[in-house]
Chain A
Amino acid sequence: MDILFSPQLLFSALVLGALYALIALGLNLVYGTMRLLNIAHGDLVMIGAYAAFWLFTLTGISPLIGLPVIAVLTAGVGVALYSVLFRGQLEGTQSVAQLEANSLLLFFGISVVLQNVMALAFTASPRAYRHLDDVYHVAGVAMTGNRVATLLIAVLVLAGVVIFLKSTIYGLAVTALIQSRDAAKVVGINVSQVQVGSFALGFGVAGIAGALISMAEQISPFMGFPFTIAAFVVIILGGLGNIAGGIIAGVLLGFIEIYAVALTSATYRSILLYGIFVGVLLIRPQGLFGKTRGG
């Protein structure tokens, strides 16, 4: 039981939770504003990871310094996809259910294309690099530099996006669109502009998450799927489209994962994680922080 009070576990839970929240944030923005089910989200994380890998390997520039470039790159992918594929879908599809179904299929195709294009370009061989891998000891907690950086950057980005959504006109427009698309149109919000902005923001954040992950894990063109699953678990748990709920659910998921393994066994990690997820949905189908409301 002493293990529960271990600051080491707390640190790991915070890192994992912040990462889950960050990965899920982008997915939530795209779903919340447009009702698009982006199952290629993990592949955007992968592109961010590759961008960081090549940036560091070819130029020696730290992924942390390169984060803006990486975010712009993946945001650019988002804008291109929006312009070519999704603008028409959003304008031409009337029902939310149809939009969700179409987007699911489209993003599935995009996922396969992105994975295989990356595999052809860079081979599917795992890649990794060493960066900020010194271990620091603070108050009895051992912390690898890249994990500390991941925690700090994730918290900064999450806070930045929340502040942006709460306190800027553009952010408030995004929030309005999440709350009610029709009402947003009525009050004169340029829906198309907000949508493309949400795409860029969501994909940019995914790229940042990928860059952070690449500092501590091996990367490959097919690494994205587990992140997509984790992101969906988080946003469903937090309430689809609920940005704050998603962040809390991400952190919660990190804590559940770390402490469930500590209290039981690693064998039960996935059973407990997804068992709790299913249990919450049985009790609250709208997620922990979701509201029941019409489309």
Chain B
Amino acid sequence: MKYLLSLVTALALGVLAVAANAAEPVRIGYSIAKTGLFSQAAPSQITAYELWASQVNAAGGLDVAGEQRPVELVWYDDESDPAKAAQIYEKLISDDGVDLLLAPWGTPHHLNVAGVVESHGFPMVGNTAASVAIREVQPGNIWFPTSAIPDKIGTELAALAKSANVTSVAIIANVLPFAQENLQFLVPALEAQGIEVKVNESYPPDISDMTALLTRIKSSGVDGVIALSYPADSFLYMGQAKELGIDQPFQFLLVGPTIAAFQGAFGEVANGIVTLGHWSPHQAAWPKGKAFFDAYVEANGMAPDYLDSALAYMSCEILQQAVAVAGLDRDKLREAISSSTFDTINGPVRFEGVENVVTPTAFLQLQGGDMHLVWPAEAATSQYQPR
């Protein structure tokens, strides 16, 4: 009896030890712009990370090469400072010993963190970086799922405008880097399509009134308006364009309309606005997209940002699928991310070098309160409709 009791106790302890080991969380680190200049943009990324983590844990944990383990998110506020983001990733890797990394918000942060992950040979799937500069990053430990790269945006936007029978446009552009990089590629692309650029004016990010600018556009007789805008100026444009009766059939805003608050502020007035984005829950070929949209709305009480939230979630899906195959070994993980095709809410994703070579550069249009992909044809969920 004594031996039996010892055996049972030993077995019980063994089971407990195995259970404890199995329950050890996979720690996933990232820095986030919780405060500072970019803090308005970061929640769309944080909420996507948190949703993914909660879904993974609710489903029994992350599949680490066949072993289910819960995930634990470890993050620090980088105060919107790219240099601080690099320090945080150094700390996450060296001091905190995290098992995996998720990306910070924004291009400058990604570029700064790229050196850290490269020096440690620590694979990280990026998300919200969008610049031609990402192609100059050393490939191997960082990947960018976005297809919203300014040179491609310029070409595709000009092609969309041409197909929408636009013959002349007015361009107004924020002086901040992403807008200016787009401007640099857009103007020659429009000219190549035979579209005349009648107004081309940049404005500072702290602009508080666009009356004079929009009055010039109105009197220019163009049939398209392209505002290379950030969220705050997209709101300003929309409100004042409505007041001044800017009624051009083709109106494009770069960043802003994909935020839930934009539709809350303008409702049907914003119908027909075209914007940057390569994901929509309406694409039947990407069944995970609708499930993500519904889960996000349920968790957060608002629609996801069609650009940043979708990209952040995609990066989690890519990491999840790679870890299922490769486990946490960094060399195997690097190999898996570099060579696999991933099934995401935005359809299949595959990388060549640092770039996603499958997802097309695309545009969304607000139609009846819904965001539909209208370009390119192979990804479209609805036809482009003039305003």
* CA gap between A208 and B266 in the complex, in Å: 23
Given known pairs A8-B215, A143-B243, A266-B203, the reply for A218 and B265 (CB within 8 Å) is yes
| B208:A220 contact, CB within 8 angstroms | no
Taking CB atoms, residues of chain B closer than 8 Å to A217 are 232, 235-236, 239
Digitize A244-271: 1 where CB-to-B-CB distance is under 8 Å, 0 elsewhere: 0000000000000111011001110110
Taking CB atoms, residues of chain B closer than 8 Å to A130 are 264-267
Q: Looking at the complex, which of A35-43, A119-127, A167-175 is the stretch in contact with chain B?
A: A119-127
Counting CB contacts under 8 A, is B231 at the interface? yes
Counting CB contacts under 8 A, is A276 at the interface? no
| B269:A133 contact, CB within 8 angstroms | yes
The 4 closest A-B pairs by CB, nearest first: A128-B265, A266-B203, A262-B212, A12-B211
Taking CB atoms, residues of chain A closer than 8 Å to B141 are none
Counting CB contacts under 8 A, is A82 at the interface? no
User: Chain A residue with minimal CB distance to B37?
Assistant: A222
In the complex, how many angstroms separate the beta carbon of A221 from the nearest chain B beta carbon? 8
Q: Place the interface of chain A in its size category.
A: 35 or more
* CA gap between A119 and B79 in the complex, in Å: 13
* CA gap between A126 and B206 in the complex, in Å: 16
Q: Place the interface of chain B in its size category.
A: 35 or more
Digitize B253-264: 1 where CB-to-A-CB distance is under 8 Å, 0 elsewhere: 000000111101
Counting CB contacts under 8 A, is B22 at the interface? no
Instruction: Show the binding face of B for A, using Cβ within 8 Å.
Output: 34-37, 39-40, 42-44, 172, 175, 201-204, 206-213, 215, 231-232, 235-236, 239, 242-245, 259-262, 264-267, 269, 302
* CA gap between A130 and B92 in the complex, in Å: 43
* CA gap between A50 and B365 in the complex, in Å: 29
Counting CB contacts under 8 A, is A216 at the interface? yes
In the complex, how many angstroms separate the beta carbon of A232 from the nearest chain B beta carbon? 14
**Chain A contacts with B in 16-37, Cβ cutoff 8 A:** 16
Counting CB contacts under 8 A, is A144 at the interface? yes
User: Chain B residue with minimal CB distance to A127?
Assistant: B261
| A8:B244 contact, CB within 8 angstroms | yes
A-B pairs with beta carbons under 8 Å apart, 23 shown:
A8-B215, A9-B212, A16-B209, A112-B35, A115-B35, A125-B40, A125-B44, A125-B302, A126-B231, A126-B232, A128-B264, A128-B265, A144-B239, A217-B239, A230-B208, A257-B208, A257-B209, A258-B209, A259-B212, A265-B201, A269-B203, A269-B204, A270-B206
Contact of B39 among A3, A128, A222 (CB under 8 A): A222
In the complex, how many angstroms separate the beta carbon of B32 from the nearest chain A beta carbon? 10
| A144:B261 contact, CB within 8 angstroms | no
Taking CB atoms, residues of chain B closer than 8 Å to A261 are 209, 212-213
* CA gap between A262 and B218 in the complex, in Å: 13
User: Chain B residue with minimal CB distance to A135?
Assistant: B243
Given known pairs A142-B243, A218-B231, A267-B201, the reply for A258 and B259 (CB within 8 Å) is no
Task: Identify the interface centre among B201, B210, B212, B242: most chain A CB within 10 Å of its CB.
Answer: B212
Given known pairs A115-B35, A217-B235, the reply for A124 and B43 (CB within 8 Å) is yes
